[in-house]
Each structure stands twice: as C-alpha cells, then as structure tokens.
C-alpha cells in the first residue's frame, strides 16, 4: 500500500465520522464576492470552429447549429460557497447583483443551503461566456468586466461586518474581476486584525492586472493575518516572475518555496497532475487520473475541498487530498454537481488507486 493510498483510507473514515457527528454544523464561513451566469460552449477542435465561423462570416453572418452549450452558475466565490454548503458547512455569501441575478442565486445557491440574505441587488448581473475545447477541456473564459463593477470594503454594511467578525473562515475570491479587489481584501484584513478567523484568498488569473501586482503584494499578500493563499501554476508564474508555467513538480515546488519566502500565508498550488502546500514544509499530493467532462469551475471546487480540510484540522497531505477529490468529483460528474461528505468519501474509496504519477 502506498502512502497516498493510506492517506485516502484515513480520510474516508474521517469524512464518514464528520458526517455522522455533524461536526461541520459548528462552523460558519463567509464568502465574497463574485456570482455570474455562465454560458459554456463545448468544441471538439478550436481550429475547426474558427474555420466554420470564417465561412459563416464570409456569407454575411448566419447559424452554426452544431455546438453543444449549457447554462450554469458561475463565479469563483459563488461556486466555492456552493461546494461548502454541499458539505453541510453553514455558509453566507456577500456580493452584488441585480434582481434577476438574485433570483438566479435563489435557484443555484439558496436551495443548496447558502445564506444569500446579505446580497445587494443594486448592481448588474455578471455574465461569462466560456469555450471548453477538445478532450482535455481546455477553457477560454470571456467575462463582461463592467457587469462585475467594483465591490469594496465600504459596500459592506454594519450587519455584513458583524457577520464577518463572527465567522470561522472568511474567503475573498476573484480579485482580478473586482476593480476594488485590493481595497476589499486589504481593508478586510485590517478589520479582522486580532480576530482568530481563518482568512482565505484566491485572486484568479492576474494577467490583465499585472501592473497592480506590487500593490497587491504590499497591501494584501504579504499581510501577517492572511492565512491561506490559493493559486494555480499560471498564477504562480505571474507572482514569481517566472518566464513560463512550471511543468514539473520540482519546478513548481521551487517557485512556490520562493514565493512563500515573501509571504506569511500557507501557499496552496493546484495543477492538473498534483497539488502542493507550502508552510513550514512542502506537501505534495497527486490528482486523480480521470477523463474530465468539464474544467470550468474545477478550481472553485478545489477551494471548497481545501477549506473543508482546513476546518476539519487536517494535515496538509489530507487537506490536499480532499481538495483534489472535490475537484475531480465535479469534473467527472454527469450533471456538474459537487459532492456531500458521503459522496466525497465514496469517490475517494473508489479512486484511491487511480492517482497520477508525479514527475519530479
């Protein structure tokens, strides 16, 4: 039995115990701030699509009837909140949308147990059109940036701030799309100084705002009371100034250790083949070797599993397993659902021997 398999078996028992005792009822998380309504277009080959589109355009426009599409809940924060609620973790969502968006949030979030009573409806419904391409489902996401608007610390009401102060974990997501993301994250950390809650940040891809990265480091990433920072390998590249995405575990680990030397937070990195966490030491856990049905939203599911591990007080390897398994469950689900505790335990038990080999 490999060490990874042993960790899987330990966590299967741990999840079943947490479900039996309703352990997660004792926690409360607050998640902010993005929700969007997503249209996904599934393409076999991008080149084939562009060639067909070029023909249609040459005729002055027309119909392309052969692309499968779906409508989905979107937004890093909203997806993470749903993942947490599915685990049975009391979760509140704070953000801004419009009246239609709020009705969609009732359908997608509230019916799964997310508290949306702190959502503001004086904004716009954020929209995203995404393309998932080929067998590996590589994605291109086109966001309507203006619809996200700016959500800053001053947009939080007194009730919002009281809720945040009482939380066990506060998560801020998608800095990239929030023009006031640095203000929201930095002043939230100021506000929570001296409180014992865990603070969790996922910035999303900073490419479009790379000139603002130095300010983000100063006001947010280097803060002592930022508990966890979550990145993928592309985001790690941008924050470390690496010339390309790290392809192998050793290269990714070296970059992560370098970045960790500049921040206090636990640094979590997820890739398609492995995830790693750098605190005092570095922990690495492989991902599950499965054929994905989708990839958009996988990182948000990963966040949900990672936060589950944080709240359960798991060791880094155990936490990374929960994160990888939650993401894997979602990407192979026929309906794009995220697991509850029992489903997650069953998934790990069934797939514990189907892990990627980590190439050093």
pLDDT at position 74? 95
270-298 mean pLDDT: 95
Q: How confident is the model at residue 112 (pLDDT cuts 50, 70, 90)?
A: very high
Residue 183 lies in a domain: yes
Residue 298 lies in a domain: yes
Q: How confident is the model at residue 135 (pLDDT cuts 50, 70, 90)?
A: confident
pLDDT at position 66? 75
Cα–Cα distance, 225 to 189 (Å, whole number): 7
**SS3 call for 48:** helix
**193-246: per-residue pLDDT in tens?**
999 999 999 999 999 999 999 999 999 999 999 999 999 999 999 999 999 999
Q: Which of 55-64, 106-115, 141-150, 343-352 has the lowest mean pLDDT?
A: 141-150
Specify the number of domains making up the chain.
Answer: 1
Residue 359 lies in a domain: no
Q: Is the pLDDT of residue 182 over 70?
A: yes
For residues 269 and 275, is the Cβ–Cβ distance under 8 A? yes
pLDDT at position 360? 67
pLDDT at position 153? 97
pLDDT at position 148? 65
pLDDT at position 145? 64
Residue 230 lies in a domain: yes
Residue 357 lies in a domain: no
- The residues near 116 (Cβ < 8 Å, ≥ 6 apart) are 92, 93, 102, 105, 106, 109, 110
Q: How confident is the model at residue 147 (pLDDT cuts 50, 70, 90)?
A: low
The overall average pLDDT reported for the chain is 95
Residue 155 lies in a domain: yes
132-154 mean pLDDT: 84
Share of the chain above pLDDT 70, in %: 98
For residues 351 and 328, is the Cβ–Cβ distance under 8 A? yes
Token digits of residue 46: 């991008």
Q: Beta partners for 115?
A: 92
Residue 288 lies in a domain: yes
Cα–Cα distance, 302 to 253 (Å, whole number): 19
DSSP string, 49-84: HHHHHHHHHHTTS------EEEEEEE-HHHHHHHHH
99-120 mean pLDDT: 97
- Expressed as residue numbers, the domain containing 315 is 3-351
Which CATH number does the domain housing residue 110 bear? 3.40.1190.20
Residue 221 lies in a domain: yes
**297-331: per-residue pLDDT in tens?**
999 999 999 999 999 999 999 999 999 999 999 99
pLDDT at position 1? 59
- The residues near 26 (Cβ < 8 Å, ≥ 6 apart) are none
Q: Is the pLDDT of residue 20 over 90?
A: yes
3-state helix, strand, coil in the chain (%, to 5): 45, 20, 35
pLDDT at position 27? 98
Q: Is the pLDDT of residue 144 over 90?
A: no
Q: Is the pLDDT of residue 173 over 80?
A: yes
């Amino acid at each position: 039995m490999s060490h990874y398999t042993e960790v899987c078996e330990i966590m299967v028992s741990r999840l079943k115990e947490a479900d039996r005792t309703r352990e997660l009822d004792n926690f409360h998380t607050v998640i902010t701030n993005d929700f969007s309504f997503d249209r996904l277009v599934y393409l076999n080959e991008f080149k084939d699509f562009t060639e067909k589109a070029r023909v249609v355009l040459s005729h002055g426009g027309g119909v392309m009837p052969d692309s499968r599409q779906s409508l989905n809940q979107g937004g890093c924060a909203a997806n993470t909140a749903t993942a947490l609620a599915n685990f049975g973790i009391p979760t509140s969502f704070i953000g801004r949308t419009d009246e239609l968006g709020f009705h969609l949030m009732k359908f997608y979030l509230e019916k799964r147990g997310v508290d949306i009573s702190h959502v503001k409806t004086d904004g716009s419904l954020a929209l995203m059109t995404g393309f998932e391409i080929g067998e590996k489902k590589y994605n291109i996401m086109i966001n309507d940036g203006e619809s996200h608007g700016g959500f800053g610390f001053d947009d939080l009401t007194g009730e919002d701030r009281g809720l945040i102060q009482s939380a066990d974990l506060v998560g801020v997501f998608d800095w990239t799309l929030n023009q006031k993301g640095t203000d929201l994250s930095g002043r939230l950390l100021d506000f929570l100084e001296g409180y014992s809650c865990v603070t969790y940040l996922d910035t999303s891809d900073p490419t479009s705002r790379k000139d603002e990265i130095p300010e983000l480091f100063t006001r947010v990433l280097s803060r002592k009371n930022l508990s966890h920072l979550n990145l993928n390998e592309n985001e790690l590249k941008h924050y470390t100034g690496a010339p390309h995405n790290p392809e192998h575990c050793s290269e990714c680990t070296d970059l992560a250790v370098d970045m960790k030397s500049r921040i206090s937070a636990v640094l979590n990195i997820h890739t398609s083949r492995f995830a790693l966490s750098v605190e005092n030491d570095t922990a690495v856990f492989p991902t599950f070797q499965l054929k994905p049905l989708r990839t958009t939203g996988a990182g948000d599911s990963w966040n949900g599993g990672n936060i589950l591990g944080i709240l359960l007080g798991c060791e880094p390897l155990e936490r990374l397993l929960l994160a990888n398994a939650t993401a894997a469950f979602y990407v192979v689900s026929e309906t794009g659902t995220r697991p509850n505790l029992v489903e997650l335990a069953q998934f790990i038990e069934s797939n514990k021997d189907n892990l990627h080999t980590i190439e050093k």
